[in-house]
Amino acid sequence: MEATVKGERGLEGEKAQRIIQAMRASVAERGAAGATFDHVASAAGVSRGLLHYYFGTKERLLVEVVRKDCDIQMERLERQLAAADSVDSIVAALVAHLEDFLEHDPAQFGLIFELFTASRHNEDLREAMKELYHVVRSHVAGALREKEAAGVVELRGDAESVASVLFALGDGIALQVLSDPDWDSSGAFATGIGAARHMLGARD
């Protein structure tokens, strides 16, 4: 068999990563409750016993899904923010990040909402969701502090609080768009952009 877990974050091996991706897709399609080991094993092309070998329980596998999504989200967002050199380009990067998910990967937001619901009844998932949002806030807050030190923004609030509200805007709009795909969200996006520009210190 392949190597087992090396520390809490140390899952290695192509099969383990294939299982995590299969669980991610299964939750997005069937919901957390309907994503069974049988479905995931079949989709990943492995035995059900291998899922138990790597993860033990469905909840622990869901935790790894949360962590994997956090890594994916941060890689994308940090890449988009790296070149931003003005308030408007920072806002544009955040909006592009949200629009990209809604257009190309709406299942990820659905996954996050599914896992949040499941986390209300499972301590491992609750801790994983807590870590996800902590990491996301911390990374974006760090980027905002760097931009403020460079004179690009003038934050109206501490960096982590601004990051938290920015993500709250994005999560809230995403939830409404996913719930009502026919809704014309352009006005909400425009209002959200105005709020984001204000928090980042835009003067006009």
Q: Which amino acid is at 19?
A: I
Q: Is the pTM of this model over 0.75?
A: yes
Domain count, the chain: 1
What CATH number does the domain containing 99 carry? 1.10.357.10
Residue 86 domain-assigned (yes or no): yes
Predicted confidence at residue 1, as pLDDT, reads: 34
Residue 155 domain-assigned (yes or no): yes
Residue 84 domain-assigned (yes or no): yes
Predicted confidence at residue 77, as pLDDT, reads: 82
Predicted confidence at residue 110, as pLDDT, reads: 73
Residue 37 domain-assigned (yes or no): no
Q: What is the pLDDT along the chain (204 residues), one digit of tens a residue?
A: 333 333 333 355 788 889 998 988 888 788 878 888 999 999 999 999 999 888 888 888 888 887 887 787 788 788 888 889 999 999 999 999 888 878 877 767 777 787 888 888 888 888 888 888 888 899 899 999 999 999 999 999 999 999 999 999 998 999 899 899 999 999 999 999 999 999 999 987
What DSSP designation does 181 have? T
From the number of C-beta atoms within 10 Å of its C-beta (0-12, 13-18, 19+), residue 113 rates as middle
Predicted confidence at residue 196, as pLDDT, reads: 97
CA distance 46 to 96: 36
Residue 49 domain-assigned (yes or no): no
Predicted confidence at residue 151, as pLDDT, reads: 94
For residue 74, give its domain range: 58-199
Residue 126 domain-assigned (yes or no): yes
Residue 139 domain-assigned (yes or no): yes
Residue 168 domain-assigned (yes or no): yes
Using H for helix, E for strand and C for coil, what is the string for 19-63? HHHHHHHHHHHHCCCCCCHHHHHHHHCCCHHHHHHHHCCHHHHHH
Q: 3-state DSSP call for residue 61?
A: helix
Q: Which amino acid is at 43?
A: A
Predicted confidence at residue 2, as pLDDT, reads: 35
CB atoms < 10 A from the CB of 191, how many? 12
